[in-house]
Amino acid sequence: MTDSLSKSLYCSGVQCPKMLWLKKHRPELFDESVMNQAVLDTGSEVGDLAMGLFGDFTEVPYGELSGMIRETERLLAAGERIIAEASFSCDGLFCSVDILQNNGGGEVELYEVKSSTSVHEIHYHDVAYQMFVLEELGFRVSRACLVHINREYVRGKELEIEKLFAVEDLTDTVRQMQQAVAERVIFLKDCIRDSEEPARDLGPFCFDPYECGFWKHCTEDLPEPNVFQLSGMQKRTMFKNYWQGIISFEDLLREAKLNAGQEMQIEYELEDLPDHIEADGIRKFLEGLSYPLYFLDFESFQPAVPLYENARPYDQIVFQYSLHYYEEEGGPLLHKEYLAMPGGDPRRELAEQLCRDIPAGVCTIAYNMAFEKGRIKELAGLYPDLRDPLMDIHDGITDLMEPFRKKLYYTKAMQGSYSIKYVLPALFPEDPALDYHNLEGVHNGGEASAAFAAMAKMGPEELAACRENLLKYCGLDTFAMVRVLEKLREKAG
């Protein structure tokens, strides 16, 4: 096993040496379903854009490590001033600097690019490591900075990258960290060379700064279910219980401070209780609905780089909705939908069609309505001429999540959650038409966002297939709401 370290392995080791060891020795144990936030933070689109921050630059082409290092040496020797992906290696330590400014005479400035909107502690470690590698090689690092997204930037007609990015000078702090980096490098290399998996108890660092993909592996000996599967408990309280040996649901029931919902989750789990139904409460909720009745669900994406005028980085851009509806009680279930084509700003067109599709004064249902209401309010702010009809839709929304949040209807299979992800399969365990796993290509909101973002680069056939997948996915979201409402009616008698 080679004890070499890259920048990202070093940062893994800062978070947890055991994570580093597992990445080196047992990578097959990594749970791919854990969103790799560390990789997302290093978003290549943002990195590519930032390369232009300092004017003309030369990029070291991605490829074999030794080739990248040789090319960097060649560019430095040729006096190239701005080098992107400048790559270095020293004593088994490797790093690629996002943007290197070559001031000549061995003096350089390094700029690490992140798609986050502020500087986090792990970024200091990241930049300190790069400074260490460069100075071990004999360079003098006169400036070490983090380049991140400026959340306050509002795009005009054209993208202004110097306003989109904020440059934070970390030089003094990372210089003071150099001795600590040297010591940590020795410690982490020793850790990698060890053939035994390091012993490390669980802690909040398993989720901070990034969720660890080895969580399943590290918790495989815990009783099932356990404190980490309890709904509505803060992570630090979970760990407090865990460290006190209050781990199983039995332990929790006996010894932990629980709220009513948590007690319910545990009792239903341990005693296998039948469904809990408060028919009066459900009837009261149903009496608040009226016909025509609409079921609305939005899909959105959050580009780090604002694509449209008046958008800020990470704004939620709504690009799709599905609308099932009944014009009258007992009438047929009808459907309308909107899905933007890639390229233009979808918000105006979507807002206009939404105002046409949902008549004034009707009752609209959403699941977890804060999201739909939030997006509608943003659209109303953007388009004052559509403000009245949009706010009319906004004010007419009822949250289908409420009966489940209030535990008017609860089953063991909901596992303490009222999210639609748990509620739907709990209510319809055997219904393939309501199973998102049976969809093609798009199975959740994250995949829908990614699919829409990717549409801009698709050819006609792929685009058509992608649109069909998105329409089916969002359509199922509102159809599921229709079925959930039916189930509530059935249970309320």
Interacting residues with ligand SF4 (CB under 6 A): 16, 18-19, 22, 200, 202, 205-206, 212, 214-215, 218
Closest Cα partner for 481 from 420, 433, 411, 415?
420
Smaller CB separation from ligand SF4, 5 or 212: 212
Yes or no: say if 30 and 214 are a contact pair by the CB < 8 Å rule. Answer: yes
Smaller CB separation from ligand SF4, 213 or 445: 213
Instruction: Give the shortest CB-257-to-ligand SF4 separation in angstroms.
Output: 25
Smaller CB separation from ligand SF4, 7 or 18: 18
**Structure token pair of residue 395:** 């004010």
Instruction: Give the shortest CB-329-to-ligand SF4 separation in angstroms.
Output: 52
Instruction: Give the shortest CB-226-to-ligand SF4 separation in angstroms.
Output: 14
Q: Hey, what's the torsion of the CAs at 436, 439, 443, 448, to 10 degrees?
A: -140
Closest Cα partner for 253 from 274, 278, 226?
226
Instruction: Give the shortest CB-188-to-ligand SF4 separation in angstroms.
Output: 13
Instruction: Give the shortest CB-111-to-ligand SF4 separation in angstroms.
Output: 29
CA-to-CA distance for 314 and 101, rounded, in angstroms? 29
Q: What's the sign of the alpha-carbon dihedral 202, 204, 209, 212?
A: positive
Smaller CB separation from ligand SF4, 203 or 223: 203
- What SS3 class is residue 321? strand
Which helix (H) or strand (E) segment holds residue 82: the answer is strand 82-90
Instruction: Give the shortest CB-195-to-ligand SF4 separation in angstroms.
Output: 17
Smaller CB separation from ligand SF4, 218 or 393: 218
CB within 8 A of 404, min separation 6: which ones?
410, 414, 418, 423
Exposed e or buried b per residue across 369-408, where buried means at least 16 C-beta atoms within 10 angstroms of its C-beta: bebbbebbebbbebeeebbebbebbbebbbbbbbbbeebb
**Structure token pair of residue 141:** 């690092």
Closest Cα partner for 227 from 237, 212, 218?
237
> What is the secondary structure of 398-464 as a DSSP string?
EETTHHHHTTSEE-GGGTT--SHHHHHHHH-TT-GGG-GGGSSS--SHHHHHHHHHHHTT--HHHHH
Residue found under tokens 């901070």: 208
Angle between helices 369-382 and 387-395 (to 10 degrees): 170
Instruction: Give the shortest CB-228-to-ligand SF4 separation in angstroms.
Output: 11
Give the rounded distance of the alpha carbon of 93 from its chain centre. Answer: 30
Instruction: Give the shortest CB-260-to-ligand SF4 separation in angstroms.
Output: 31
Integer angstrom CA distances of residue 218 from 8, 9, 199, 251: 21, 19, 10, 20
The phi, psi pair for 97, rounded to 5°, reads -90, 130
Q: What's the sign of the alpha-carbon dihedral 10, 16, 22, 23?
A: negative
Smaller CB separation from ligand SF4, 198 or 429: 198
Instruction: Give the shortest CB-216-to-ligand SF4 separation in angstroms.
Output: 8
Smaller CB separation from ligand SF4, 16 or 317: 16
Instruction: Give the shortest CB-419-to-ligand SF4 separation in angstroms.
Output: 24
Smaller CB separation from ligand SF4, 95 or 202: 202
Instruction: Give the shortest CB-191-to-ligand SF4 separation in angstroms.
Output: 12
Smaller CB separation from ligand SF4, 205 or 422: 205
Smaller CB separation from ligand SF4, 18 or 347: 18
Smaller CB separation from ligand SF4, 27 or 106: 27
Smaller CB separation from ligand SF4, 24 or 347: 24
Instruction: Give the shortest CB-2-to-ligand SF4 separation in angstroms.
Output: 20
**Structure token pair of residue 241:** 């219980």
Integer angstrom CA distances of residue 405 from 96, 249, 477, 484: 48, 21, 18, 14
CA-to-CA distance for 282 and 264, rounded, in angstroms? 18
